[in-house]
Amino acid sequence: MNGVHDMGGMHGFGPVTPEANEPVFHAPWEGRVLALRRAAGAWRRWNIDAGRHTIETLPPAEYLRLSYYEKWFESTIKLVLGAGLVTQRELETGCRDPAVPVATPPLTADKVLPAIMAGGPTLREISATPRFAAGQAVRARDINPVGHTRLPRYVRGRRGTIECDHGAHVFPDSNAKFEGENPQYLYTVRFAARELWGEAANPADAVYLDLWEDYLDAV
């Protein structure tokens, strides 16, 4: 979707202001949000792409106003409601529906580190061969899907060069809609800074993106 989250190349947000000796969490609730999202995610009722899309679909002004962990919290509420893990009434009252039996959590403390270490690899085996080869010229498609996509606006319609392929990976555009993993080849594509930003850019500079086959056309 052409959301405010797709902010590569925008102006007006001011300088980057690093914080000296920044703590991992600025308040305990931030860590709890991270943990709640991961522990609730162990029910496997959603995937990483659907999770990202719930953040992108926050109202644009909210998206910009909320901190990172506030966005995660709001999207976690949407996810647990959408998955039917909790009801709106339970959220509003803070009390569980006594008609629903108490569940057994899939993620227990002893499983946390193994689960983190395993992660969620997105590489898949497919029988197709890659459509593009290193060094080949490509153009990012000029598409405007209303759902989740990982093709940023700032490269759409621009020419790049295939740097390498990473094998076939889960395709976020379909996975976010629970329409299947649709694994396809993923490529690192090099775009010259001048192709993206015009003649004022340094001719030596480039931006590299990881783009799926469905995002690309041969030139």
Partner 1 sequence: MAHDHAHEHDPHDHDHGQAMPETALRVKALESLLVEKGLVDPAALDAIVDAYENRIGPRNGARIVARAWTDPDYKARLMKDATAAIAEFGYSGAQGEHMVVVENTPAVHNLVVCTLCSCYPWPVLGLPPVWYKSSAYRSRAVIDPRGVLRDFGLSLPDDVAVRVWDSTAEIRYLVLPERPAGTEGLGTEALADLVTRDAMVGTAKVAGP
Q: Are 178 and 156 in contact (CB under 8 A)?
A: no
Helix axes 28-41, 68-82, angle to 10 degrees: 30
| Residue whose structure tokens are 């008609």 | 99
- For residue 207, give the H/E element and its range: strand 206-212
**Any contact of residue 57 with partner 1 (CB under 8 A)?**
no
Site string for partner 1, 134-153 (x = CB under 8 A): ----------------xxx-
- Cα→Cα distances 196→140, 159, 199, 203, Å: 11, 9, 9, 11
Give the shortest CB-94-to-partner 1 separation in angstroms: 5
Q: Parallel, antiparallel, or unpaired for β 184-192 and 159-169?
A: antiparallel
Write down the least CB distance from residue 31 to partner 1, Å.
4
The stretch among 65-73, 131-139, 174-182 that binds partner 1 (CB under 8 A) is 65-73
- φ and ψ at residue 93, rounded to 5 degrees: -90, -25
Query: Rule CB under 8 A: is residue 10 a binding residue for partner 1?
Result: yes
Residue of the chain from 168, 176, 207, 216 that contacts partner 1 (CB under 8 A): 207
Tell which one of 89, 121, 129, 146 touches partner 1 (CB under 8 A): 121
Residues in 158-187 at the binding interface with partner 1, rule: CB under 8 A: 166, 169-170, 172, 186
Min separation Cβ 130 and partner 1, Å: 15
DSSP secondary structure letters along 45-59: SS-HHHHHHHHHTS-
Q: Which stretch binds partner 1 (CB under 8 A): 4-12, 131-139, 177-185?
A: 4-12
34 binds partner 1 (CB under 8 A): yes
Stretch that binds partner 1, among 86-94, 125-133, 177-185 (CB under 8 A): 86-94
Q: Closer to partner 1 at the Cβ: 85 or 136?
A: 85
> Which part of the chain contacts partner 1 (CB under 8 A), choosing from 99-107, 129-137, 177-185?
99-107
| CB closer to partner 1 out of 113 and 127 | 113
Q: Which helix (H) or strand (E) holds 188?
A: strand 184-192
Q: Do 197 and 9 touch, CB atoms closer than 8 A?
A: yes
Rg (CA), the chain: 20
